[in-house]
Structure 1
């Protein structure tokens, strides 16, 4: 009965693993737990320009039904065409969130005669999508492409279709997938390649289209998924793919079919900011240099704007995060089971507009903690 759940919550609390919804970031603190990588969310100039450029009377704050009923609008068409053109691909389909995309695309495409092989550390939303699929599921060791190839060699001929699934920039470690190797393997073994660019969109590539653009592989990846809720400071997500797959998803993806559409005002903002994002070259350069400098100060190899500082146990990670918040840095600890046991961490997300001098106190605190642990 209810006592079972009380006992489970008590156990979580004893493990320093009880989640609570935090209050808004206290005023004056440096927010290093946000996904606002380009600093767009706090850019009042962009908000003002958007509002002045729109006929707000024509935009709605609700869609009131799904796109397949009466919820579609011209802003959806504008956004999907804009994204497809940017990626130089046939089609784009917008979803309500990255979670909606990842739980809806693979279960719709992969059936009982198919195989999905996913990196061991893909995001929870992808894992949920795998579990909803009727396909056979196998996982390869994180970034171990020899292991992936051994699975392809062993199982490819047993299945009608095979899907290789990865993130481009991994959300917890900030490390980068080797997309050229994945493209080579997908071609060699006649598989589909599904890449979640959630944490690379806006940041990587000349136009901010992600690691697929940076590596010049946008034409070689079958399904590129991106989200508007991080660097683009909006809401929703998308997949770029061939038209046949878009049409198939419209007819079979449950998370697309059975959900109320996004309001037109949100879509209009996304169109506006996506066009701006394509030209934010200087913000991307500034962010990259900040990340290089910060990583160097901590003696951590630079990989991306997501910088994990491994603490170890859940209890210690919570204590360090609390101490840093007292020093003016809003950093939330990431604990097991979100990350493997013993690797609880501070996941530091840097953003454009932040200066390295603003992080000196944080750097000193973290280096002092490392020295103490040694």
Structure 2
């Protein structure tokens, strides 16, 4: 349980990265629904204008007969599709099948081909045996809770496939939306504490759908369909936001519906300055909650305070925090108890959920707008029914098997204890620098039995190449010990009396 002192620290303004790092290793999901931050705006403040703009856009769409809605097809009698949590088999601890999500094999030919792409730093070569496969520990996936291999998830997918095949193949607005999809949306809305939810084919598509729907507000409300400069939307985006956010913003920008302002990574002083100088009425701030390449968290409390001050629409991509953070797996917003202070929550089913797909948790009005104007939603085939059924089962398992969240954060603690670093999430970013050095480090880890890839441009900026390591609830303490031992041959970890920094052995 958390202490009063830690709560007091979290409630403070202007949290810096170092302080957040030291707190998250102990607080994390345990904070749960604690209302550490509760900020609401008076209807007289600018935030209320966004409701008016969305409503006006919906009226305009309706007047043009462009308002769209999904109509679920009942693949079985609706009463039969209830996904009772009591029928989902769960366990009170790890089982042998959990290892299948972190233990993989690679045939010798593939192994050699991968090595041939990586520079050889010298040393002894590994004996070649074409008749064996390589066993590797997987430290590069996003299956944070190890749910992709859970029996309940497998059974749900198999049962749906046997009964319905892949389900109707079409976009959600035509025939691809079923009672399975509708029930999963309801469960995700409940998880994120939102009024409604819209399923999308991928997390990438979810971000693009939201951004394209957002931009359409300007065109719908503008006289003649072309917004003037002061009618455009001002979008403020973190410098390290995911590529799907960036591509969505570019789409809106290309339609001349927005002006884009990029603020320095996690720099709330810079963001506040940009907001203060902007005279445009329609302001939006969008950020990842947990940044996938750096493993650090967005300063949610500061963003909520800035929202109170400036009245912008706040959109959070909670892809890497969903099911990982929060007592119930609701993500970083649940940790801070500020779900009502975030207008749009975007997520994915391909990471901790262990399946495939994306979603936008929002109000019912925003859902209507996105499903009517979100291009990547409208023009994509909906998720196959077995994937939807498996995703729902995964949500049930994650809610009941809370030990999985305990396990993944225990692995974070283990890594910190063995390296004397202070990582704050299951994403470990070991920045090396040059591309060649990062590739050599990746080769070393591969030869040592670890599936860890080098992250290079354009994913990260030049000269910031790195090894990106991800931890899972399926990993054990012994796995972490072996990982650190292999890393220690390439990296110099700090001594007990030194700052938490690493240096590659170049």
Tell me the TM-score normalized by structure 1.
0.88
Q: Deviations over 1:291-321 (max 9, x none)?
A: 1210232232121000111111111111111
Instruction: Give distance in 2, aligned partners of 1:72 and 1:357.
Output: 45
Q: Does 1:143 align with 2:266?
A: yes
Residue aligning to 2:139 = 32
Q: Does 1:267 align with 2:388?
A: yes
Q: Is the 8 A contact 1:207 1:280 kept in 2?
A: no
CA RMSD of aligned residues (A): 2.0
Q: Deviations over 1:226-266 (max 9, x none)?
A: 10001111111111111110011111111111111111111
Q: Is the 8 A contact 1:63 1:262 kept in 2?
A: no
Q: Is the 8 A contact 2:152 2:393 kept in 1?
A: no
Structure 2 counterpart of 1:69, from 174, 187, 204? 174
Instruction: Report the alpha carbon displacement of residue 142 of structure 1 after superposing the two structures with TM.
Output: 0.2
Q: Does 1:215 align with 2:336?
A: yes
Instruction: Give distance in 2, aligned partners of 1:27 and 1:262.
Output: 34
Residue aligning to 1:9 = none
Q: Which segments of 5 or more consecutive residues in structure 1 lack a partner in the other structure?
A: 1-12, 17-25
Q: Does 1:335 align with 2:456?
A: yes
Residue aligning to 2:481 = 360
Q: Does 1:46 align with 2:155?
A: no
Instruction: Give distance in 2, aligned partners of 1:47 and 1:72.
Output: 21
Residue aligning to 2:23 = none
Q: Which has the larger radius of gyration?
A: 2
Instruction: Report the alpha carbon displacement of residue 27 of structure 1 after superposing the two structures with TM.
Output: 5.2
Which moved further from structure 2: 57-66 or 109-118? 57-66
Instruction: Report the alpha carbon displacement of residue 70 of structure 1 after superposing the two structures with TM.
Output: 1.4
Matches within 5 A, 1:1-374: 28-43=135-150, 45-50=151-156, 54=159, 56-110=161-215, 111=218, 113-133=232-252, 134-155=257-278, 158-371=279-492, 373=505
Which moved further from structure 2: 271-280 or 222-231? 271-280
Q: Is the 8 A contact 2:290 2:296 kept in 1?
A: yes
Q: Is the 8 A contact 2:323 2:352 kept in 1?
A: yes
Instruction: Report the alpha carbon displacement of residue 175 of structure 1 after superposing the two structures with TM.
Output: 0.3
Q: Is the 8 A contact 1:232 1:270 kept in 2?
A: yes
Instruction: Give distance in 1, aligned partners of 2:459 and 2:378.
Output: 30
Instruction: Give distance in 1, aligned partners of 2:269 and 2:319.
Output: 25
Q: Is the 8 A contact 2:161 2:385 kept in 1?
A: no
Instruction: Report the alpha carbon displacement of residue 42 of structure 1 after superposing the two structures with TM.
Output: 2.9
Instruction: Give distance in 2, aligned partners of 1:263 and 1:169.
Output: 28
Instruction: Give distance in 2, aligned partners of 1:344 and 1:97.
Output: 27
Instruction: Give distance in 2, aligned partners of 1:70 and 1:343.
Output: 46
Instruction: Give distance in 2, aligned partners of 1:212 and 1:48.
Output: 29
Residue aligning to 2:95 = none
Q: Is the 8 A contact 2:118 2:443 kept in 1?
A: no
Number of aligned residue pairs: 349
Residue aligning to 1:3 = none
Instruction: Give distance in 2, aligned partners of 1:14 and 1:40.
Output: 32
Tell me the TM-score normalized by structure 2.
0.66
Query: Taking structure 1 as reference, are residues 280 and 161 closer, same or farther at Cα in structure 2, changes over 3 Å only?
Result: farther
Instruction: Report the alpha carbon displacement of residue 46 of structure 1 after superposing the two structures with TM.
Output: 2.7
Q: Deviations over 1:98-127 (max 9, x none)?
A: 110111211211345111001000011111
Residue aligning to 2:30 = none
Query: Taking structure 1 as reference, are residues 331 and 15 closer, same or farther at Cα in structure 2, changes over 3 Å only?
Result: closer
Q: Is the 8 A contact 2:209 2:376 kept in 1?
A: yes
Q: Is the 8 A contact 1:295 1:307 kept in 2?
A: no
Instruction: Give distance in 1, aligned partners of 2:304 and 2:433.
Output: 35
Q: Deviations over 1:336-367 (max 9, x none)?
A: 22112211111000000211222323312322
Instruction: Report the alpha carbon displacement of residue 56 of structure 1 after superposing the two structures with TM.
Output: 4.5
Q: Is the 8 A contact 1:103 1:128 kept in 2?
A: yes
Q: Deviations over 1:184-221 (max 9, x none)?
A: 11121110111001111110001111101111111110
